[in-house]
Amino acid sequence: MKAKLRAWLRWTVVVLLGLGVTFYAWTQDTYAVDPIAYASALADGRVRIEERRGYIVMKPAVGEARRALLFYPGLRVDPKAYVPKLAEVAVATQIEIVVGRPRLNVAAFSISQADDMRNVLSHPAQTQVYVGGHSLGGAMACLFAQGHAAELAGIVLFGTYCGSDIVNSQLRILNLIAAKDVIMPAETIEQHRAELPIDALVVRVPGMRHSQFGNYGAQRGEDPADIDDGQARDAIVSAMNSFFASR
């Protein structure tokens, strides 16, 4: 009987180790940034891009940003993949943006990372702070905001729904939806509209797909987009500009 128990325990350990190794390998198989788009962003003299304590920080090269966006990446997406589009946002809206680096590339494992990202801001005590993110990252940003609403100005959601009830909060919300998104369909996002305050700004971008919130190529299972990455970038910048200009 003891021999059978030992054999069962050994088999259980082997299975669990195998599952752990498989899961770890899956989390490390990330969607990598388009190197050309990334190099172009780094060469743009209008924006300063640097790394602080492991986070990517972007801010306008001219002027002082007094607002900030703490951004959670999507599931298994290289944080650098958001730099080409968010660098344009930083310039257009005069905000400082910090892109997070979640544990194992899964935002759900680093929900409180916004606290660390805030600490790398140029003027953390004097800055109006928003949180946001793409896909799973956006939902985790919303979950963080639900428990820290008094410390934040608002939330920016890219290709996702909130997943947390913040309807009675005073937070300002931008929910940006890609009309050709099959990873997180527009209809699914719109079904969760009741989670958000009544004055939330919801913008639907025609022809855009889920992966175009970053620059990392198509995700598995995606349909072709009807707009190119430049048009997707311009739509994101326009929506962000309208959102921040209305404050």
What is the C-alpha to C-alpha distance for residues 61 and 54, in angstroms, rounded to an integer?
A: 21
What is the C-alpha to C-alpha distance for residues 236 and 205, in angstroms, rounded to an integer?
A: 8
63 and 19 co-located in one domain: no
Which residues 6+ apart lie within 8 Å of 64 measured at CB?
Answer: 123
58 and 7 co-located in one domain: no
How many other CB atoms are there within 10 angstroms of residue 60's CB atom?
18
54 and 100 co-located in one domain: yes
pTM of this prediction?
0.93
Mean predicted confidence (pLDDT) in 119-147: 94
228 and 145 co-located in one domain: yes
What is the C-alpha to C-alpha distance for residues 76 and 32, in angstroms, rounded to an integer?
A: 9
Q: Total structural domains in the chain?
A: 2
23 and 38 co-located in one domain: no
26 and 67 co-located in one domain: no
74 and 23 co-located in one domain: no
- Residue 161, pLDDT > 70, answer yes
94 and 141 co-located in one domain: yes
1 and 69 co-located in one domain: no
Helix residue spans in 101-197 (DSSP H): 113-118, 136-147, 186-191
By residue range, what is the domain housing residue 177? 32-245
* pLDDT 10s digits, 184-230: 999 999 999 999 999 999 999 999 999 999 999 999 999 999 999 99
Mean predicted confidence (pLDDT) in 64-70: 92
19 and 70 co-located in one domain: no
Q: Which CATH number covers residue 183? A: 3.40.50.1820
- Residue 246, pLDDT > 90, answer no
162 and 148 co-located in one domain: yes
